[in-house]
A and B are shown apart, each in its own frame.
Chain A
Amino acid sequence: MGYAIGTVTGGLGDEAHYKVLAAIKTLAEANGWTTLRYDTSGADKELILNSAGLSGTEDIYIGFKTYQSVPSNYYNIAVSCFTGYIAGNTFELQPGARLSGTPCHNNAVTYYLQANAQRIVGCFKVGTPVYTHFYVGKFLPYARPGEFPSPLISGASFDGKEARRFSDTNITFPYYGYYGFTSSSPQNYGRCYMRRPDGVYAQQFHVPWTVSSGLSTLMRPPGANYQLQAIILFNYDDATKGNVWGELDGITHITGFNNGTENVLQQGGTPVDQTGMTPLQAVDAILAAGGRAHVVLQDNGRTGFGNFIAMEMK
């Protein structure tokens, strides 16, 4: 089982975001990842993972590191991709590191996690509440084997370990892409760093958010059947062309029209009556009924039509 939905609570010295880190470790190890480092000795606890990917022939490195400040009242988790692992190096100095920070919480966190052997995605419901997100690991490149070395994403809300907290109203999830959330200026708040073939991490445009008109924000389904749109990363690289890099794995755009966060979308299988079910129960029931289950999750505190993604649980 590649998903985990749960709630953890914490207190002084036993903060909730530490327990989230432990939950990520447990889920990862059950889904193809090997723990290279799990250091809980200090306040900043670290987890570094390695996997052979879905093909079994790859060498993927990702990591999670808590960072927090009692005076500033933030308790976050930074995610990072790496291109290797050196046991003697710090988390930040691992080869090819690119950190992105995800707001989390010390008291209570409801987490939605999904892991496969090439990437881990997650969403934390914290505070008022808001929903913070991360995507770390491989995306699905539009490339033949060997053409795209290390197609990795380090995606969250902050540029590295920024000293900001979940209540910062400017933060966004990583899925809008560069220029995605506001059409008039670059995306400075959500961070989705993609590692290009030349080894440089950079934010990219994302379809359907970065388009000339409004399928991202103005979409509604024909009825009760919602239509998921792939999130495709691209750029314009020279005067005439660019690159269409690939798409995210297991995260899709879904309209917020008549929709709500933590809804569970069923795709195929015997229809499940979700009345009275928690999201976890609904996911379990849909999968047992032979369907595919997608949890609808909003961007932080935003609930506009264009502020939702669907995270497939499988």
Chain B
Amino acid sequence: MAYSTGSASSFSDLMTAIVNFLVTQGYSDTAGVAGSPTPSASRLLSKGDISVRVGYDAQPCCFLFGGTGVSGTALVNPSATYAKIGSPQAQPITFPITYEFFYSSTPEEFYCVINYNGDKYQHLHFGKSDVPDIGGNGLWLSGSYSGAQTLAGTSGTSDQAKMYMSASRSTQGSGYVYPTPYAGLCGGYFLNDGGWWNGTIRCGLEGADAWRVKANNSAGGLRNQFQADSLMMALPSLYNEAEVLLPLQVNMQRTDSLFTPVAILRGARMFRMDNTSPGDIITYGSDQWKCFPLYARNTENRNGVNWITGAYHSGTVGIALRYDP
């Protein structure tokens, strides 16, 4: 495990910090093609059979693509879907920002969290699945925004500084709470439902190795966290206010309509941060977990605010990252 924190005065600075950090973790670094719109730049980072392209552009954002190798200034088999941390025009990021990096090599995982404008957080992360038999290199990536989002919407239902969430539960025990992004933030961590693809994983199982994306009811499509949705609607436990940390599991739909977990994010958990402040550290035995809002913490609207209103927060949906400074 490794951890680093610092300040960045631009997305260019953030990219440089990510590159420098991952180089110290054994990644090779070469120049990548520029992004768009300019000014922009990117770097290609490789370790073993996974490669990523991290860069910035004038959208402005810091973006992340995945690949299976490097050829010149480009990725081999680049992901069509990509993820990013971005500055929405409705509520631009005021630099400098604070960043925190979390890294593990068992399995290979990297998490970047930024804090800006006081209470706002965004996330960008990738890793290599340790689930056997899934084919491909198992590289997964996700982030607060889908690469396809322009960040230009400023009002009404196109406000891209909002998070639109959906929550429900039944007396039969079913339930869920997650971002339904529409125009807003997806959140990352493969949490979202709906059509915005802010996460992808390269694996086989249904034909040749390919980048799989979120798509309900479609063979090869990824699903949200339905294995633990109900628990998010029960937490924190009333009897002891426990902050139970729930595994994040990426499930893929098969041609026979069955589901296969293709990745488990070993260094991240979802939880409800009703009783936890951003940056708090939860200690369970020898494990430490650092707590962050999915976007911004709000205890009055615990489940966020639904489409079409949305809100500049994520309720008490939180992410805990394994912390081993």
A residues at B contact (CB < 8 Å):
142-144, 147-148, 177-180, 183-184, 196-197, 205, 207-208, 210-215, 218-225, 227, 229, 232, 234-238, 240-245, 257, 305
Closest 5 CB pairs of A and B: A223-B133, A242-B234, A205-B173, A210-B173, A212-B174
| Number of cross-chain contacts by CB at 8 Å | 125
Would A183 and B172 count as touching, CB distance under 8 A?
yes
Would A241 and B262 count as touching, CB distance under 8 A?
no
Would B239 and A207 count as touching, CB distance under 8 A?
no
Give me 5 A-to-B residue pairs in the complex whose CB atoms sit less than 8 angstroms apart, sorted by A's number. Answer: A208-B227, A211-B227, A214-B259, A225-B133, A242-B233
With a 10 A CB-CB cut-off, give which of B132, B230, B244, B302 has the most chain A CB atoms: B230
Would B258 and A222 count as touching, CB distance under 8 A?
no
Set of chain B residues within 8 Å of A212, measured between Cβ atoms = 174-176, 226, 229-230
Cα–Cα, bound, A142→B176 (Å):
20
Cα–Cα, bound, A242→B238 (Å):
6
Would A245 and B237 count as touching, CB distance under 8 A?
yes
B281 at the interface (CB under 8 A from A): no
Would B169 and A236 count as touching, CB distance under 8 A?
yes
Cα–Cα, bound, A223→B262 (Å):
11
Interface string of B261-280 (1 = CB under 8 A from A): 11000000000000000000
Would A207 and B227 count as touching, CB distance under 8 A?
yes
B residues at A contact (CB < 8 Å):
131-135, 169, 171-176, 205, 223, 226-231, 233-240, 242, 244, 251, 254, 256-262, 302
Would A234 and B230 count as touching, CB distance under 8 A?
yes
Name B231's contact: one of A179, A207, A219 (CB within 8 Å). Answer: A207
Cα–Cα, bound, A144→B243 (Å):
11
Set of chain B residues within 8 Å of A177, measured between Cβ atoms = 173
Would A225 and B172 count as touching, CB distance under 8 A?
no
Say whether, besides A183-B172, A212-B174, A241-B238, A219 and B260 are in contact (CB < 8 Å).
yes
Set of chain B residues within 8 Å of A184, measured between Cβ atoms = 172
Would B173 and A178 count as touching, CB distance under 8 A?
yes
Cα–Cα, bound, A25→B256 (Å):
46
With a 10 A CB-CB cut-off, give which of B132, B205, B234, B251 has the most chain A CB atoms: B234
Say whether, besides A236-B234, A238-B238, A244-B237, A215 and B226 are in contact (CB < 8 Å).
yes
With a 10 A CB-CB cut-off, give which of A220, A227, A244 has the most chain B CB atoms: A244
Cα–Cα, bound, A211→B225 (Å):
11
Would B228 and A242 count as touching, CB distance under 8 A?
no
Set of chain A residues within 8 Å of B175, measured between Cβ atoms = 212, 236
Would A215 and B132 count as touching, CB distance under 8 A?
no
Give the nearest-CB partner of B256 in chain A: A220
Would A215 and B231 count as touching, CB distance under 8 A?
no
Would B226 and A224 count as touching, CB distance under 8 A?
no
| Closest chain A CB from B265 CB (angstroms) | 14
